[in-house]
Structure 1
Amino acid sequence: MYKSLIRPFLFRFDPENAHQLTFSWLKFLGNIPFALRWLAKPIEDKRLEREVFGLKFKNPVGLAAGLDKDAKLFNELSQLGFGFIEIGTLTPKPQPGNEKKRLFRLVEDSGIINRMGFNNEGVDAAVEHLKKNKNVLIGGNIGKNKATPNEEAVRDYEICFQKLYPYVDYFVVNVSSPNTPNLRALQDKKPLTELLATLQELNRKKTAPKPILLKIAPDLSEDQLLDIIDIVATTGIAGVIATNTTLSREGLTSDNRKETGGLSGKPLRKRSTEVIRFLAEKSGNSFPIIGVGGIHSAKDALEKLDAGASLVQLYTGFIYEGPELIREINEELLKRASRIAR
């Protein structure tokens, strides 16, 4: 129903307007008992459960950061079948993000280009929403404000960490968005090690430290990826999310392909999987990886898991394929579990 009726209707609107319309629908349906579950028909099966970095996930398919930036709809989205929801990216202070138009569909390529620029209502507003959590496993994706210079960025991440700590199950440090000026410079070994070590120091002072993950760009070289492996070992963070959006435009055919910003969707699938496989092999599977990038089918999700990911996340694939994609992935995982059990 989604691809035949709902998506054609939504794709007639500007992408940001369609996003707001979708959120209004989900909010409305969420107030009707079992309506979202009836529409999405999520699968619940103990065989889908995963324990990763000390947390139990009811299934390995999560929602990537960027869709529910301000933690307004995580309860409703979880009813569609996601095993976990990642909110953000959140910054200490509210910021409007970049000027519109800043979100572009590449329908012929099954992709999206965005240059949103960490638009969000600030971490304090998200905390108020998170207080209404109905037992949804939440990841908190944190970043720095655009106005904060890189040499002061650590403070922004500290603020978000401290304020979100009571309300999220794991953290994601985002230094890989291409849409905040100079942010990706924080991926260099020295500043990144300092940032993660500082957060880990704060984390270890807590009575119950929480997993901290690093979200990386797909555009890193092999030498840079080897640095990431060293940094994970040095700082003791829990794992890596691979990958964020790409600046590459290779092989695109859509009219919007020349827009600036980060590209997500099918064109990212191959590179994201390559990064996952490289990290897993070169690290000896020494830390968990959440695979994200170009998952538009159950086959794509299994490819990420087979490459070394412990969990996967959807964003653009969810927009193009709808909640049926969550169910299809979990169905395929159950079929695989049945074959192994024979």
Structure 2
Amino acid sequence: MPDWSYQTLFRPLLFKLPARIARSATLHAMGGLSRIPGGSLVIRTLGHMEVSPLLEQKRLGLDLKYPIGLGGGVDPHGTAQRALAQFGFGFTEIGPVTMEPVRSDQPIVLDRAQEAIVYPDAPVNDGLAAIVERMRRKRDHPLPSFFRLCPMPGCTPGEALVQIRSMLKALNPFAAGFYLDISEDSWPSDIIDACTMEAVRLTKSEAADKPVLLYIQPDTNEEAIMARLANINEAGIVFEGVVIGDAITVGDSQVVGRAVRSSVLQKLKRIRSVYPAESFTLIAAGGVHEPQDALDLTEAGADLVQLHSGIVFSGPGLPKRVNEAILYRIVSRLPAPPLPSFWQGWGWMCLLGIGMIIGGIIAWIIAATTVVLPYDLSFLCTDAETLASINERLLPFMSHDRITLAGTMLSIGVLYYQLGRYGLRERLHWARTALMVSGIVGFSSFFLYLGYGYFDPLHATAAAILLPMFMLAMRDRKEEPYRRKTNVANNPTWRMAQRGQFMLVVLGFALVIGGITISTVGVTKVFVPEDLEFLMTSPAALDSANPNLLPLIAHDRAGFGGALLSNAIALLATALWGIQQGARWLWWTFLGAGTPAFAAAFSVHLYIGYMDFWHLSPAIFALVLYVLGLLLLYPYLMRPISASKTDRA
């Protein structure tokens, strides 16, 4: 469920449901997908969260791939942990955890205007026994987990310490560390301080090799926080840091949302001014709804951030966007590496693209004039006049196949040239992956020409010339992080771009299906019913007129299907992974790649009179998606990112 589908389709639907039902349905869907064969690959493919060593941190005795954590309130029952772990998180919080289950019948309320979630004022969870059983039964992701331990509501300080000891013993085998959340409102502040101190001491003794962090809610009195930390230090108890939580108490409820951010920022700055980053970890868990929020928190002193309500309101792509924003801040302070030379890899891809463009132009000219080539006629053992006499619509029909193939070749050429020049040249991982998969499919589709026993010497020659270029382009395997400024705000331009990306991704998937279908038909039935209605004949009649005619037409159809599939994969991968604000070249790439393909498809159908609506409906649907995608993406891709932090939703 990436942002382009979440913002466009799923969020409007889910926000109409009761919050508990919407959360359960979403998590069960993601969890179910991650558990079926290939499901995790689908999740990774849609999100494509790249790992960069620049984001890795050595914190709390752990090697964290990403500085982003998953808050415990997102998936309290552990339904979709395996799926969520692939969104770009470096660690997870599990909790709150209490000795006994804590239930609540009160509804969870979404405040859309304030981007807030209102929970019952209780540490609602499944209880220690259920959580331990869950960890034993399905530990299905590699991320380190921190358990947030809470005493039962209404217990005494002595009972709280006994409960914490029991939870420590039970959870220690599964824990990377612990958050201690001791904030009983009915206790005096000095009792809370004393209990907290003993809880830290107890945790350090029971889980000697595990980091311990204090969990403090954002609305806790700032002076009380500093006094509590000072008391623990004066007692000589070593603990690793503080988690500033994600909820404030309003009446009988806990509110999680954007409004928490200001309180978290204030406490971060105060704590960091006393405790240096080298020996003390600060985790900010509240108010991150867009990448700029995370940047502000890290600038204020947070070493790590956790996401909760931002996942609900911004979408599951938020951790990836935050990672990209933090990565850009890092690389912007580093010297840019030299660009590779033209012949090191990317230049060969540009030449391959130019070769495809030239080949597409030549193919279009031939298909619009003679249609068939001498070796085609040699294979048929006939001449053009005899071929035309078999069926007056036969040559126009073959022209229709070959011109659409030419338009597809032009589209591939534009995509390959642009991805080589702007993607491979900057050594972007997603661009190399897109070209690799598309190229392998494209060159492999040459063998579809043999599906009916026809060997095309021109296509074989072209493949023999272009394949070495592809292999030379793919030899440079070095990768660099994206060095251009990324989007950091959930502003209207970004929201509109999600709809535009949705259109192009759907277009890409539709073309993939179309390419597979056309290839399959080409090497099996050869024709669809609408083709035979246009030709006013049957396959048997054509075969009786010339037994080599069907293999020749099948070769055209299968070749077009393979080229369309290769083109669709490059387009789909670019739409899925490459869209970044201010990437003007990408908008021009979409325009340049789509225009010749659609122009070829519609012009040849109009010219030969093959205007069956059902036959053209997929192309019309694709054109609508294409135009809408370009229009909706235009402001996002063509306008530079504002330098102002005030450009927010």
**SS of 1:340 mapped into structure 2:** coil
**SS of 1:155 mapped into structure 2:** helix
1:20 is matched with: 24
Select 1:118's aligned residue among 123, 126, 148. Answer: 123
**1:325 lines up with 2:318 in the alignment:** yes
2:247 is matched with: 245
1:140/1:4 CA distance change after superposition, 3 Å: same
1:82/1:302 CA distance change after superposition, 3 Å: same
Instruction: Report the structure, 1 or 2, having the larger helix content.
Output: 2
1:95/1:292 CA distance change after superposition, 3 Å: closer
2:270 is matched with: 278
User: Gaps (5+ residues) in structure 1?
Assistant: 177-182, 249-258
1:224 is matched with: 224
- 1-side partners of 2:123 and 2:249: how far apart? 17
Offset at 1:298? 0.9
User: Gaps (5+ residues) in structure 2?
Assistant: 336-649
1:255 is matched with: none
- 1-side partners of 2:124 and 2:267: how far apart? 27
**SS of 1:294 mapped into structure 2:** coil
1:194 is matched with: 195
Offset at 1:205? 5.0
2:87 is matched with: 80
1:251 is matched with: none
**SS of 1:12 mapped into structure 2:** coil
Select 2:303's aligned residue among 288, 307, 310. Answer: 310
1:99 is matched with: 105
1:293–1:314 CA contact under 8 A, matched in 2: yes
- 1-side partners of 2:232 and 2:6: how far apart? 40
- 2-side partners of 1:205 and 1:147: how far apart? 24
CA RMSD of aligned residues (A): 2.1
Offset at 1:169? 0.3
Offset at 1:304? 0.6
Q: Which amino acid aligns with 1:27?
A: G
2:180 is matched with: 173
1:175–1:186 CA contact under 8 A, matched in 2: no
1:10 is matched with: 14
Query: What TM-score, normalized by structure 2, do the two folds share?
Result: 0.47
- 2-side partners of 1:197 and 1:152: how far apart? 12
Select 1:290's aligned residue among 261, 266, 283. Answer: 283
1:72–1:129 CA contact under 8 A, matched in 2: no
Q: Which amino acid aligns with 1:281?
A: S
**SS of 2:101 mapped into structure 1:** coil
**SS of 1:301 mapped into structure 2:** helix
2:243–2:285 CA contact under 8 A, matched in 1: yes
Give deviations 1:52-101, integer Å, cap 9, x for gaps.
Answer: 121111100111122232434322210122111111111112232x3322
Offset at 1:11? 0.5
Offset at 1:33? 3.5
**SS of 1:227 mapped into structure 2:** helix
Q: Which amino acid aligns with 2:241?
A: G
1:137/1:284 CA distance change after superposition, 3 Å: closer
Task: Return 60-69 or 124-133, whichever deviates more.
Answer: 124-133
1:218–1:272 CA contact under 8 A, matched in 2: yes
2:121–2:249 CA contact under 8 A, matched in 1: no
1:254 is matched with: none
Give deviations 1:158-208, integer Å, cap 9, x for gaps.
Answer: 1111110000101111224xxxxxx235683443343443443353355x5
- 1-side partners of 2:290 and 2:296: how far apart? 10
Higher relative contact order (CA 8 A, sep 6+): 1
1:42 is matched with: 49
Offset at 1:284? 4.2
Instruction: Report the structure, 1 or 2, having the larger strand content.
Output: 1
Offset at 1:137? 1.1
- 1-side partners of 2:187 and 2:177: how far apart? 21
- 1-side partners of 2:31 and 2:48: how far apart? 18
- 1-side partners of 2:72 and 2:18: how far apart? 20
- 1-side partners of 2:130 and 2:193: how far apart? 27
Q: Which amino acid aligns with 2:41?
A: F
1:159 is matched with: 166
**1:262 lines up with 2:254 in the alignment:** yes
2:59 is matched with: 52
**1:128 lines up with 2:133 in the alignment:** yes
Identity rate of aligned residues, in percent?
25
2:246–2:285 CA contact under 8 A, matched in 1: yes
**SS of 2:259 mapped into structure 1:** helix
1:29 is matched with: 33
2:176–2:211 CA contact under 8 A, matched in 1: yes
- 2-side partners of 1:320 and 1:76: how far apart? 18
Task: Return 285-294 or 326-335, whichever deviates more.
Answer: 285-294
Offset at 1:232? 4.5
**SS of 1:39 mapped into structure 2:** helix
Larger Rg: 2
**SS of 1:200 mapped into structure 2:** helix
Offset at 1:272? 0.9
- 2-side partners of 1:317 and 1:187: how far apart? 33
